[in-house]
Amino acid sequence: MQDLAYLSPMKNIIILSSLLISISLNGQLIDFHHFDKRTMNEVMFNQMSDYIMSHYGYSIINYSLGQHRIYQYIKKNSLKMSPSDMCIKINNRILRKYDSKIVSKTKMLGCVGFINSISIENCRTYQDISENCLLDWVNSENGVFMNWSQVGHAVSYYNKTTRTVYVFWAFLI
């Protein structure tokens, strides 16, 4: 910190601003009484984008295809179905409806998505949740899809009753 004292005040402000921006997005503490799904989706997208860039050398584009319908489906079924059953239904019922639009407008083949449920007991930040999801997905059979697409999006839902966050990630392949 003594080195910073010798820098000009403007440089100190720039350094502090860049640190605060980084901390505010990636290290933001979660208020579980007011869970911010938009922030969770942004952090998850950034986490996936960083992972794909560092492992496969390209960036991904955020495209919110059917995001509201996926959110509503997870919200409605989070207490009734397992995450794996929800994932199958979302892939077959919701994402497949968009396949024809995707194929006609792009060179993509269709959509594939996967879901994870994270108990919030050991999570304090949105980054903690996204890191847990990414780790689970990379170490599962879903990891094969990680390098197949340049387009993706996240959908998150927090169930206050079970204190569980559901994060769905969709790739356009």
- For residue range 43-98, what is the model confidence (pLDDT) as tens digits? 999 999 999 999 888 888 888 777 899 999 999 999 999 999 999 999 888 877 76
Residue 119 within any structural domain of the chain: yes
Confidence (pTM): 0.77
What CATH number is given to the structural domain containing 70? 3.40.33.10
Where in the sequence is the domain holding 65, given as residue range(s)?
30-172
Burial track 71-95 (b if 16+ CB lie within 10 A, e otherwise) = bebbeebbeeeebeebbeebbeebb
**Would 17 be classed as within a structural domain?**
no
Tell me the pLDDT tens digit for each residue of 85-128: 999 999 888 877 765 555 555 555 557 788 999 999 889 999 99
pLDDT exceeds 90 at position 146: no
31's tokens:
């208020």
Number of domains the chain is built from: 1
**Would you state the pLDDT for residue 118?**
94
